[in-house]
Amino acid sequence: MNKQHIIDRFVKYVTIDTESDPNNPAFPSTEKQWDLARVLEKELKEIGMDDVDLDENCYLMATLPSNLDYEVPTIGFVAHIDTSPDFTGANVKPQIHENYDGKDILLNKEENIVLSPDYFEDLLQYKGQTIITTDGTTLLGADDKAGVTEIVSAMEYLIQHPEIKHGKIRVCFPPDEEVGKGAHMFDVEKFGAKWAYTMDGSQIGELEYENFNAAGAKVTIEGKIVHPGYAKGKMINSMLIANEFINALPEDEVPEKTTGYEGFFHLHHMEGSVEKTTLQYIVRDHDMDQFNNRKKAMLDLAEVLNAKSGQKLVSVEMKDQYYNMKEKVTPVMYIVDIAEEVMKDMNITPLIKPIRGGTDGSQLSYKGLPCPNIFAGGHNFHGRYEYVPVESIIKASEVIVGIAQKVATKFK
């Protein structure tokens, strides 16, 4: 695949602002996601894809017809078009660093923002490669515009090389994955694939079919405000009760102290006054029993604090967000095996591990479309230090082509 063509395509995508909005229930949650969707709609038609369809909810689907004279399962590839609201995606200025020398990369001289392998050790894997970074003032958007680039590039390559045999392939570019809604309006029946792969992982080689079970919890603590000079026996300071709640949860079961299969409670927002305090948590665990125990622990803690005060001051609103896709993928593990075989054929070491987060693939798997996750190549998502090696984008594109070929031969 042409390296400069890949770079140009990726840069075009990331310079279109598609940040999603967690507070807007509309589809898509931001109008600007349409900007990239329409660019992709036009591009898919230009490269020769069939059935290019952009629906009213900003889901873009297209078909690469089979060039076989026999039937094989229809497969799909998915990558979301939005970027995270955790950090601004406006006015992205990609910086291209050729033949990376393994030293610090100065992202922004004026603000002295440095991407250093002393802190981000993974950089050293990519010495001699071409690294694309931000200018330190925005995220890059490789999550998941690297995945979008890979899918479009792979489809273009297959169209330009009809000698490569493949079955019918469906692609979809949904909105709003970063705010947890990417699969909500995904029409699995319309998509029509037996299984699919999200191209939404991180470093080269990642292959994932397990993810967290996830819930969101809003803890509300009601207090009573009176003049502090006359407060004895009357004032109830909700912030102090909130402090009790926070400290009663296991201090080592937080994101910054856990890894692998270890779950956590993550306090990500809090707002308080004497009269009212709210705590926003996410609750995560790979094991369903432990996940349910975590949720119960928070509900039980509220009851303990209410009993202590003799009043119902603490309430917990709990909402499940998504579940571990392992339950839906394990019965069809051959779809993971195919991707693993392709990587090994390409001398890529498969890194099969649980996702410490979520993916559209989780919700899609529960909607009837088993959907493991494959590396897209980026690192340090959702922030100013995000980067992606161009060679990883190319390899991921080649993995897509390899999967198409593997399915064509395996099911002959």
- Condensed to tens digits (0 to 9), the pLDDT of residues 211-229 reads 999 999 999 999 999 999 9
What was the pLDDT predicted at 143?
95
What was the pLDDT predicted at 1?
84
- Per-position DSSP letters for 56-107, written without gaps between them: TTS-EEEEE----SS----EEEE----B-TTS--TT---EEE-S--SS-EEE
Residue spans of alpha helices (H) in 179-227: 188-191
82 has catalytic annotation? yes
Marked catalytic residue, from 41, 43, 135, 177? 177
118 has catalytic annotation? no
Nearest alpha-carbon partner for 144 in 216, 198, 221: 198
Q: Is it the case that residue 359 has pLDDT exceeding 90?
A: no
In single-letter form, the type of residue at position 23 comes to N
Strand 351-352 vs strand 206-208: parallel, antiparallel, or unpaired? parallel
**Alpha-carbon gap, residue 6 to 94, rounded angstroms:** 14
Marked catalytic residue, from 82, 135, 206, 208? 82
- Condensed to tens digits (0 to 9), the pLDDT of residues 241-271 reads 999 999 999 999 999 999 999 999 999 999 9
DSSP state of 277: E
Longest dimension (CA), the chain: 87
For CA atoms 355, 356, 361, 364, the dihedral sign is positive
- Quickly state the pLDDT bin for 350 (edges 50, 70, 90): very high
Average pLDDT, the chain: 96
- Quickly state the pLDDT bin for 356 (edges 50, 70, 90): confident
CA 363 to chain centre: 12
What was the pLDDT predicted at 358?
76
Mean pLDDT of 325-330: 95
Tokens of 240: 């102090």
Q: Is it the case that residue 40 has pLDDT exceeding 90?
A: yes
CA 27 to chain centre: 18
- Condensed to tens digits (0 to 9), the pLDDT of residues 101-127 reads 999 999 999 999 999 999 999 999 999
Structural domains present in the chain: 3-210+324-410 (3.40.630.10), 213-322 (3.30.70.360)
- Condensed to tens digits (0 to 9), the pLDDT of residues 286-320 reads 999 999 999 999 999 999 999 999 999 999 999 99
What was the pLDDT predicted at 84?
95
In single-letter form, the type of residue at position 137 comes to T
**Alpha-carbon gap, residue 58 to 53, rounded angstroms:** 10
Strand order across the 373-375 sheet: 50-54, 60-64, 169-173, 75-78, 195-201, 373-375, 206-208, 351-352
- Quickly state the pLDDT bin for 180 (edges 50, 70, 90): confident
Mean pLDDT of 351-376: 92
Mean pLDDT of 76-94: 96
Q: Is it the case that residue 65 has pLDDT exceeding 90?
A: yes
Cβ 395 vs Cβ 351: under 8 Å: no
CA triple 127-131-134, angle to 5 deg? 140
Q: Is it the case that residue 333 has pLDDT exceeding 90?
A: yes
- The pLDDT > 70 percentage for the chain reads 100
CA triple 305-309-314, angle to 5 deg? 45
Tokens of 50: 């069939």
Cβ 37 vs Cβ 175: under 8 Å: yes
